[in-house]
Amino acid sequence: MKNQMFMGASTKQGYDIATKSREIIRGLIGDDIKDLAPAERDIVERIVHSTADPEYAKLVHMSADFVEAAMTSLRNKETILTDINMVKYGITQYEGEVECFIKNEEVKKIAKEIYPNINIIGLEKLDYVDLTNGAIITSNHFNPLDSYNIRKIVEEKLHKKLYIVVQDTNLAMPGALGFLFNNIEVIPLSKSPNYIIKKFMPELKKILSKGNFVLIYPEEEMWFNYKLPRPCKRGAYQFAHELDVPVISCFVKMTDTNITDNNEFNIVKYDVFINKVIYPEKNESIKSDSRKMAEVDYETRKKAYEDAYNKELKYEFDIKDIAGWKDI
């Protein structure tokens, strides 16, 4: 153990514990990393050890030259960038620079400009609503990450947990979005009636019964940065009727900024409007009630759009209906 450190351990006892934990990890993820090169296996094992989550063995992907390129950079003493200071301070035997900008004032300033606080309007409408058995939230859908707007309300303001209903095919998406969908609270939805009855509905009922919230996009399609609300399909309201939970109707307004996001779009600011709470009528049939709830929700969101943008809702395409588009 002289002058050695293994997985953060600098004593024999720490070394023994680290070695044993590494053996346990290899037993859990062996099949997932068997085709990797030795150095790649070491990296994945270390990630799993750090996160205490064997699922990362399935999620980590490295380019063919990653290890060689990384080692070359380290030999050249190139700067290491860390996401938190704890990691920065833990790198003690490196002759190059180690940087972390999480507390950098310029970074904070840029972050506030690019990702401004979301403005929430109408939160008081939920003050006297019984949410003991949870609720379904509906909203317009315009971005793969637009659930963040609703999550801010649910988790920061209402102190509840938010689950998102997504098509099961989203879990197979490549890259960052696929990773995200597999690592946040989602409820996969398939078109199979058998799956909906035997798996989806029991899971939805269990989650709502604990007082959690579930976000469902009744438009059932995402139109990128499209400002206009679209007619609602009945699925969300059928679930609300069957499980006897309220629907919280929301609408997100998008306002253009002059801050560049990429070559085609600028950053967009968001205002989240809590419109009204819609209750199922249990004395009506599920077909009739879900249709009425869908119509009420759409009309509510339509009015929210017209009030927010001070214009009549018309489905005559205008380039200004796409928020943040630089070609405007």
Catalytic positions, written as ranges: 49
Count other Cβ atoms within 10 Å, centred on residue 285. Answer: 10
Task: Look up residue 315 and give its two tokens.
Answer: 């489905």
Pairing of strands 162-167, 80-81: unpaired
Q: How far is CA 101 from CA 84, 93, 104, in A?
A: 8, 20, 5
CA angle 196, 204, 220 (to 5 degrees): 65
DSSP 93: S
- Cα distance between residue 204 and residue 188, in whole Å: 10
The angle, 0 to 180 degrees and rounded to 10, between the axes of the packed helices 235-243 and 286-309 is: 120
Count other Cβ atoms within 10 Å, centred on residue 72. Answer: 11
- Cα distance between residue 66 and residue 14, in whole Å: 30
Contact present, 168 and 93 (Cβ < 8 Å) = no
Contact present, 268 and 254 (Cβ < 8 Å) = yes
Residue 142's closest CA among 324, 327, 326?
Answer: 324
Sequence-distant contacts of 62-68: CB under 8 A, at least 24 apart = 66/40, 67/37, 67/39, 67/40, 67/43
